[in-house]
Chain A
Amino acid sequence: MNRRLLWPAVVLALLLLLNLFFTPGFLSIEVKDGHFYGSLIDILRFGAPLVLVSLGMTLVIATGGIDLSVGSVVAISGALACLAISEGTGVFAAVALAVAVALVLGAFNGFLVAVVGIQPIVATLILMVAGRGLAQLITDGQIITVTDASFKVIGGGYLFMLPFGILLALVVLAATVFLTRRLALGLLIESVGGNAEASRLAGLRSRGILITVYAFAALCAGIAGVMVASNVSSADGNNAGLWIELDAILAVVIGGTLLTGGRFSLGGTVLGALVIQTLTTTIYSIGVPPETTLLFKALVVAAVCLLQSAAFRSKVFPQRERPAARPAAKDTTEVAR
């Protein structure tokens, strides 16, 4: 396994072990009502929206940017889908509408960053704040409940005995891996993230790449939004996707992608997202009192970040660091921030 992925994987394994200690049947998966059932399935199912959002976030961060608006896009797309369905639109059309609007919002972000030249954190902050209001406007401040069985499938249903949401996340993951690792897109993104100006001089259309990447992040968020809404058969403009942008950024960082842009790791991001979701589930399962939940989370996340820092590791486990057989530049800057 890639050394970059080692530490998040170790933490994930430790968390699962901790659960096994408190709940002996934690790792068991049974078949219930013709589908798999168990805590691990839950982690994957509730983690699917985070995985999706984090995938988009990874590419944005790889270009040296950041997208704070994904949480609001989650809320908007869920609200739009539920509103359309509650007004009699077909499920397919409603979902298509929601995802299309998400795509447009993402392109708007990309336009602000690439064409207007606003700093990514500011450009996406606009939609983060305004988008939450937009979602509440769409739902009229109410929670829209929909009782459509086929809509329910997206976030709460099953296919091939597995939750549909997991499969959907896998499909998006596979598509992303294909686009960025089998085609040149990944290289172009890393190049723009490494040095946008040099890339432009080398003949890359960095503007187009930036817009594409932000649109893709919003697309992922849009799909996640539909999934979140479908899971509880309702759209909650105020709470859907609240703070998911922070979890997504954390997942990307835990996965070993640098916030400065350049190289990125999709596998690391997925691992990071699963660490976060496992952490959440762990808190519920082992019964950490709600008052100390945030502290517990912070401690675990701090531990992961410390473990990933090469500087910290070399201080704490000096004998285990191999002599510098390869250029250490990338590794020493790997301090999570």
Chain B
Amino acid sequence: MLKKISALVLVGVTAVALTSCGKGDSGTAAPGGGTTTMGFSQVGAESGWRTANTKSVQDAAKTAGIDLKFSDAQQKQENQIKAIRSYIQQKVDVIAFSPVVESGWDTVLKEAKNANIPVILTDRSVDSADKTLYKTFLGSDFVEEGRKAGKWLTEESKSEAGPVNIVELQGTTGSAPANDRKSGFAEVIGADPKFKIVASQSGDFTRAKGKEVMEAFLKSNPDIDVLYAHNDDMALGAIEAIEGAGKVPGKDIKIISVDAVKDGMQALADGKISYIVECSPLLGPQLMDLAKKVLAKEDVPARVVTEETTFTQEQAKKVLASRQY
């Protein structure tokens, strides 16, 4: 009796596991047949930005009539490498992915190249020396985003004489946006010795960590003038910490952030964030265009930058209603 029950439960569990696995690959069209198949490995769903990015890719694939095989790496490189290997085995027509970290991709990219499957990088780059491993890189220029943040700060505190104490909430350690937003920002503010980064830690691009790290910053550095957060979610978490410390975010501590997701834009319009550098996730249509060109053996530029802008508090109030993500 007991054995029967356990068998039943096991069957049930397996069925659940199978259906949840099957969710990703909806289409069954044979690759190389009528429809184009794209294997896409996403970083995860760590922020509102990322989910908007996922949705943009999925919607654009549907519109373009491309069969999308989507997988979520949950911020782990090994998951992503596994996903790419499985795409190679499934013989998809083109592979696109947003690398979790910058390094360590050569082997798996070579495997894709040997299988004659073109690879398009989206949103984040890899540091491989061999540039023939991928066709093109579509995404934002994170260094430029860091520079934009730095430029605003230099403009804003032009009249201030004293030292400007900055704390930085970095993204996931080792990720391209964290590395580049850090270096772009440091490059611009490094020109003036009055700017001083007094503390810089990783907040993993999440609200919870952003809040926790900011709490610690507030205690170990009594005199903070500016917070530079590598994404909106960390800034939103930090705002709660700043308010908890009895200070006014946006006033006592100016906050610069990157991304411009809806919750972030709301905080910007409310005056809690001072300035946001946009990093648009809506690159799905551009990605599908590039994929079609690559498959048609047309030449594509090695680097395609997404169009982006910046927002002040006044601008945020105007565009807030029309933000999609």
Question: Which one of A42, A112, A239 lies within 8 Å of B206 (CB-CB)?
Answer: A239
Return chain A residues, CB-CB under 8 Å to B51: 141-143
Q: Is B90 an interface residue (CB 8 A)?
A: no
Question: Which one of A38, A130, A293 lies within 8 Å of B219 (CB-CB)?
Answer: A38
Return chain B residues, CB-CB under 8 Å to A37: 244-246
Minimum Cβ distance to chain A for residue B3 (Å): 10
For window 185-241 of chain B, which residues contact chain A by CB distance below 8 Å?
A: 199-202, 204, 206-208, 211-213, 215-217, 219-220, 233, 236-237, 240
Question: Which one of A38, A239, A286 lies within 8 Å of B204 (CB-CB)?
Answer: A239
- Are B240 and A115 interface neighbours, CB within 8 A? no
Comparing B5-13, B33-41, B91-99, B155-163, the segment that makes contact with chain A is B5-13
Q: Is B140 an interface residue (CB 8 A)?
A: no
Return chain A residues, CB-CB under 8 Å to B54: 141
- Are B207 and A143 interface neighbours, CB within 8 A? yes
Comparing B42-50, B252-260, B306-314, the segment that makes contact with chain A is B42-50
Contact with B along A143-162 (1 / 0, CB 8 A): 10100000000001000000
Q: Is A46 an interface residue (CB 8 A)?
A: yes
By beta carbon, the residue of chain B nearest A145 is B263
- Are B245 and A32 interface neighbours, CB within 8 A? yes
A141 to B2, CA, bound (A): 39
- Are A238 and B74 interface neighbours, CB within 8 A? yes
- Are A39 and B207 interface neighbours, CB within 8 A? no
Contact with A along B143-187 (1 / 0, CB 8 A): 000000000000000000000000000100110000000000000
Comparing A90-98, A182-190, A225-233, A325-333, the segment that makes contact with chain B is A225-233
Minimum Cβ distance to chain B for residue A205 (Å): 16
Minimum Cβ distance to chain B for residue A137 (Å): 9
For window 29-56 of chain A, which residues contact chain B by CB distance below 8 Å?
A: 32-33, 37-39, 42, 46
Q: Is A126 an interface residue (CB 8 A)?
A: yes
Contact with B along A128-139 (1 / 0, CB 8 A): 001011001000
Question: Which one of A132, A231, A284, A293 lies within 8 Å of B208 (CB-CB)?
Answer: A231
A143 to B237, CA, bound (A): 13
If over half of B's interface residues share one DSSP class (helix, strand or loop), that class is named, otherwise mixed; here it is helix
- Are A236 and B173 interface neighbours, CB within 8 A? no
Q: Is A87 an interface residue (CB 8 A)?
A: no
Return chain A residues, CB-CB under 8 Å to B10: 116
- Are A293 and B240 interface neighbours, CB within 8 A? no
- Are B215 and A228 interface neighbours, CB within 8 A? no
- Are A285 and B219 interface neighbours, CB within 8 A? yes
Q: Is B107 an interface residue (CB 8 A)?
A: no
- Are B215 and A46 interface neighbours, CB within 8 A? yes
Q: Is B16 an interface residue (CB 8 A)?
A: yes
Q: Is B26 an interface residue (CB 8 A)?
A: no
- Are B216 and A284 interface neighbours, CB within 8 A? yes
Q: A126-B13, A130-B20 are in contact. Are A238 and B201 (CB under 8 A)?
A: no
Question: Which one of A38, A133, A142, A231 lies within 8 Å of B48 (CB-CB)?
Answer: A142
Q: A228-B208, A232-B207, A240-B208 are in contact. Are A143 and B201 (CB under 8 A)?
A: no
Return chain A residues, CB-CB under 8 Å to B13: 126
Return chain B residues, CB-CB under 8 Å to A32: 245-246
Q: Is B296 an interface residue (CB 8 A)?
A: no
Return chain B residues, CB-CB under 8 Å to A257: none
Q: Is A290 an interface residue (CB 8 A)?
A: yes
Return chain B residues, CB-CB under 8 Å to A22: 220
A112 to B10, CA, bound (A): 9
Q: Is A265 an interface residue (CB 8 A)?
A: no
Question: Which one of B75, B173, B208, B219 lies within 8 Å of A232 (CB-CB)?
Answer: B208
Most chain B CB within a 10 A radius of its CB, from A23, A136, A228, A287: A287
- Are B45 and A287 interface neighbours, CB within 8 A? no
Q: A39-B219, A290-B173, A290-B201 are in contact. Are A116 and B5 (CB under 8 A)?
A: yes
- Are A233 and B240 interface neighbours, CB within 8 A? yes
Q: A116-B6, A287-B199, A287-B201 are in contact. Are A234 and B216 (CB under 8 A)?
A: no
- Are A42 and B216 interface neighbours, CB within 8 A? yes
- Are B219 and A25 interface neighbours, CB within 8 A? yes
Q: Is B17 an interface residue (CB 8 A)?
A: yes
Most chain A CB within a 10 A radius of its CB, from B16, B48, B54: B48
Contact with B along A204-246 (1 / 0, CB 8 A): 0000000000000000000000001001111011111000000
Q: A284-B212, A284-B217 are in contact. Are A232 and B246 (CB under 8 A)?
A: no
Question: Which one of B5, B201, B202 lies within 8 Å of A115 (CB-CB)?
Answer: B5
By beta carbon, the residue of chain B nearest A240 is B208
Minimum Cβ distance to chain B for residue A155 (Å): 10
Q: Is A281 an interface residue (CB 8 A)?
A: yes
Minimum Cβ distance to chain A for residue B78 (Å): 15
A290 to B173, CA, bound (A): 6
Minimum Cβ distance to chain B for residue A111 (Å): 8
- Are B5 and A285 interface neighbours, CB within 8 A? no
Contact with B along A273-291 (1 / 0, CB 8 A): 0000000110111110011
Question: Which one of B46, B199, B219, B263 lies within 8 Å of A239 (CB-CB)?
Answer: B46
Q: Is A296 an interface residue (CB 8 A)?
A: no
For window 269-314 of chain A, which residues contact chain B by CB distance below 8 Å?
A: 280-281, 283-287, 290-291, 293
What 20 additional pairs, Cβ within 8 angstroms, besides A132-B74, A284-B199? A23-B220, A26-B220, A32-B245, A39-B219, A39-B220, A42-B216, A112-B9, A133-B20, A143-B47, A143-B51, A143-B233, A145-B263, A232-B237, A238-B75, A239-B206, A283-B201, A284-B201, A284-B213, A287-B220, A293-B173
Binding site for A on B (CB under 8 A): 2, 5-6, 9-10, 13, 16-17, 20, 44-48, 51, 54, 74-75, 170, 173-174, 199-202, 204, 206-208, 211-213, 215-217, 219-220, 233, 236-237, 240, 244-246, 263
Q: List 26 A-B contacts (CB under 8 A).
A: A25-B219, A37-B245, A38-B219, A115-B2, A115-B6, A116-B6, A116-B9, A116-B10, A130-B16, A130-B20, A132-B74, A141-B45, A143-B51, A143-B233, A145-B263, A231-B208, A232-B207, A232-B236, A233-B240, A236-B46, A237-B45, A284-B212, A284-B217, A285-B219, A286-B220, A290-B170
